[in-house]
A and B are shown apart, each in its own frame.
Chain A
Amino acid sequence: VTQRAFILFGALFVLFVAIGWVLGAANITLLLVQSFAYALIALGLNIQWGYGGLFNFGIMGFLMLGGFAVTFISFPINAAFWNSEGPYLLARAVAAFAAGTLLVFGASRAHRIGIRGGWKTALTVLAWALAYLVYRSQIDPAVAYIEGSAGWIGGLGLHPVLGWLFGGVLAAGVAYIVGRICLGLRTDYLAIATIGISEIIRALLKNMDWLTRGTLTVSPIPWPTPLPQALQAQGVTITDSFVLARLGFLAVVLVVLVAIFFLVQRAYGGPWGRMMRAIRDNHVAAASMGKDVKARQLEIFILGSVMMGIGGAILVSFGQIYDPGSFQPINHTFLIWVMVIVGGAGNNWGAVFGALLIYMAWMISDPVAQALFYTISNWSTDIGWGAIPEIQSRASQMRVLVLGLVITAALRFAPRGLIPEVVRRER
């Protein structure tokens, strides 16, 4: 860590204290938990983009998967579903899905029994169509039944931390599929392909009411640490209970973040990190040195996505509500990109710094813009131009503009980020 990083982190600390002074302890602890969760996600992107040079515009999708995972694992059991025909119908749909997967897989192996060329293509298309039909024929009645009777399948009632882990696992599974399909593509194609996949994940989770309650949203999702209400029951005052409960959650998040940061930082310095940088800087040369470029890229894509899944799960369980409709590419994909670019791609300290700084700027630019607008509005009323209409809703849009200006300025004046990557060279 350089002197510059020390100064910047010191300035950030002062900024946090100042904001905390203005907003109060309850608000600053809320912002801290969220910004550290974002730091985890930014680390995930930093692995993919900073270490591996892989473009991922589908962060939102992985965050949604993490959120779904924690909802599914930790939300209390829905007895109405388990006592109905639902599980049986769903099991049949899963079986149909498995059969379809087998069919498609079999078709992809058809060359082993001598079916080649155009016939194999035709067989593959046929297998996909058949698998889709079989799956639809089973899932449609199951969905109609579940949504008609129990509403949705509910959760499993397990510990939230298990949900975070499952978020990582789920993200890894999807990242494996995405990576297998897309990683061979050029950067531009990879960018659009990942955007597309995250949009598909959003469309699915938003519309599968039987699985996620869709736009009806799920809440309250339990915390791994005591809730403010639980503390209040023990006789803590209301203001203190919020601060204490959030500090407890913050401690858990910090443990996760520090552990992952340590591992990621060690990996960067080790042979694995060197290999990744070699692949990023010149994958042709790396391949000629005997590195399996595709497999390594898949590996790093999955690792980064796991961190995104865990981060998304943490954010959802902290917010206690899972609302698939609230996920937006701006808030959940591009915000993270700005964090990593501004902080410094390739440098973990930079990624964490960028995450904390940008999240704070993102959150406070709304009230600041509001105050600014009220001042201008008063002034324009005084000189007879009339007030600005709908200040509240306009001010909240201001942060999108701020985000755009920040990333543009960063690319222009600090293209390697505020805490740039330090490439050590042996002389």
Chain B
Amino acid sequence: LNELIFFFNTVVISGVVLGSIYAVGAIGVTLIFGILRFAHFAHGDMMTMGGFIAFLLAAAAAAAGIVAPVPTGFLVLPIAMVIAAVLALGIDKGFYAPLRARGARPVTLLIASIGVTLIIQGLIRLFFGSSSYSFFDTEIKQLYRIEVPLPDVTRTINFTQPQLLMVVCTALAVVALHFFLTRSRLGKAMRAMSDNPDLAQVSGINTKLVVRVTWIIAGSLACMAGTMLALDVSLKPDLAFNIVLPIFAAAIVGGLGQSYGAIAGGFLIGFAETLAIFNWSILLRPLREALPFDLPNNLAVVPTEYKLTVAFVILVIVLLWRPTGIFKGAST
């Protein structure tokens, strides 16, 4: 059973954590696609930006001598999310709104989002250089160990405090989003506009307001995802390029424009990545005697270096097998 617990530690826990990061990021991508009909490539950099905002705030809080039972990264997260939402609104106003006013095609907006990516990334690198930062330079990551009350079990279930808080935060965000989309007037307006923008406008929905709300939600969620990623590993200016592919894969797998699909897609991709690089021979080791062949030392489906390819392979399979995603996505 030690092996099973090892499996739980390395696959289930990191899969859940990775999955929640992807899910929170993918919700933003999918919302923007649903409302504005373009793939927002700058989302990865908005996440990095959010991570850096939280980092600066955390540093400021630490300097001010604020001590809390949770890591400062989580303490400042709400403020960082507000700032990121304002910045997202500003980005829309400055870069996308003029193009939309001109009646540009979605493809032009996509290319514009590349420009935004480069600008954000350039600014971040200008101010922070290219080295990596950690939230835990001054404080310690608390590690939880849970003893398993079974005989012959020596391993414990391990996870860190940030990981636990991340999952809680994701759950809170998802539930809040669910209630917003299904119960509030604005959320219903958003869903209506995502289904049919012209009809929504004709029926008196304030589309400009909906667009603003979309950016607020997407921006704050991107900030949250970026901070979580930074808390789980470390904060690097070029974080975005490694994250944008799995996030888009998650959004597409779930069906672009479908918020629940994005959540499912995020967890699917997260788990697939951790499962694919897991060394299966550890699980099979107790059965060594029973197996007819010698057990190799490493039985991972793909070597660790190719982790990124897993998301993509899933994406291709889903696109070929069900082009609009698992949940029916928006067309065009």
Contacts and interface: CB of A to CB of B under 8 A. Distances in A.
Interface of A: 55, 181-182, 185-189, 191-193, 195-197, 199-200, 203-204, 206-207, 329-330, 334, 337, 341, 390, 393-394, 397-405, 407-408, 411-412, 415
Given A199-B308, A207-B303, A390-B129, A407 B110 contact: no
Given A199-B312, A203-B308, A411-B108, A401 B245 contact: no
Contacts of A204: 306
A181 B320 contact: yes
B111 A411 contact: yes
A211 to B, nearest CB: 14
Contacts of B256: 188
B129 A193 contact: no
B99 interface: yes
B319 interface: yes
Contacts of A330: 118, 121
Contacts of B271: none
A337 B114 contact: yes
B107 A187 contact: yes
Contacts of A399: 122
Contacts of B123: 401
A402 B119 CA distance: 8
B132 interface: no
Interface residues of B, number: 49
A196 B307 CA distance: 12
Contact of A401 (B122, B311, B320): B122
Given A200-B309, A400-B125, A393 B33 contact: no
A404 B312 contact: no
Interface of A is mostly: helix
B58 interface: no
A142 to B, nearest CB: 15
Nearest to B112: A411
Interface string B242-255: 00110011001000
A203 B277 CA distance: 15
A169 to B, nearest CB: 24
B69 to A, nearest CB: 35
A334 B244 CA distance: 15
Contacts of A411: 99, 104, 108, 111-112, 115
Contacts of A415: 102, 104, 108
Interface in B292-332: 303, 305-306, 308-309, 311-312, 315-316, 319-320, 323, 332
B180 interface: no
Contacts of B252: 189, 192
Given A187-B107, A404-B119, A397 B114 contact: no
14 contacts: A55-B107, A181-B316, A185-B323, A188-B33, A188-B256, A195-B244, A197-B312, A199-B312, A207-B303, A207-B306, A337-B114, A394-B129, A398-B122, A401-B119
B114 A402 contact: no
B118 A200 contact: no
| Shortest 8 CB-CB contacts between residues of A and residues of B | A401-B122, A404-B118, A404-B119, A397-B125, A196-B312, A400-B122, A188-B39, A407-B115
Nearest to B237: A397
A404 B117 contact: yes
Interface string B146-176: 0000000000000000000000000000000
Interface string B228-251: 000000000000010011001100
B98 interface: yes
Given A394-B126, A400-B118, A408 B112 contact: yes
A203 B309 contact: yes
B244 to A, nearest CB: 8
Given A334-B117, A404-B119, A408-B95, 9 more contacts: A330-B118, A330-B121, A334-B114, A394-B126, A402-B122, A404-B115, A404-B120, A404-B121, A407-B115
B110 A188 contact: yes
Contacts of B104: 411, 415
B52 interface: no
B55 interface: no
Nearest to B321: A121
B309 A408 contact: no
Given A199-B308, A207-B303, A334-B118, A187 B129 contact: no
B130 interface: yes
Interface in B255-278: 256
Given A188-B110, A408-B95, A415-B104, A196 B126 contact: no
B135 interface: no
Given A207-B303, A394-B129, A412-B98, A192 B119 contact: no
A213 B303 CA distance: 17
A181 B319 CA distance: 9
B38 interface: yes
Contacts of B218: none
B116 interface: yes
B253 to A, nearest CB: 11
Contact of B126 (A203, A398, A405): A398
Contacts of A197: 312
Nearest to B114: A334
A206 B119 CA distance: 28
Contact of A203 (B38, B116, B306, B319): B306
Contacts of B117: 334, 404
B315 A193 contact: yes
B306 A192 contact: no
A207 B108 CA distance: 35
B252 to A, nearest CB: 6
B174 to A, nearest CB: 23
Nearest to A403: B118
A203 B305 contact: yes
Contact of B122 (A181, A186, A191, A397): A397
B99 A404 contact: no
B38 A188 contact: yes
A408 B116 contact: yes
Contacts of B309: 199-200, 203
Contacts of A393: 129-130
A196 B245 contact: yes
Given A188-B110, A196-B249, A408 B119 contact: yes
Contacts of A341: 111
Contacts of B112: 407-408, 411
Contacts of B39: 188, 191-192
Given A55-B107, A192-B252, A200-B312, A400 B121 contact: yes
A415 B100 CA distance: 13
A403 B116 CA distance: 10
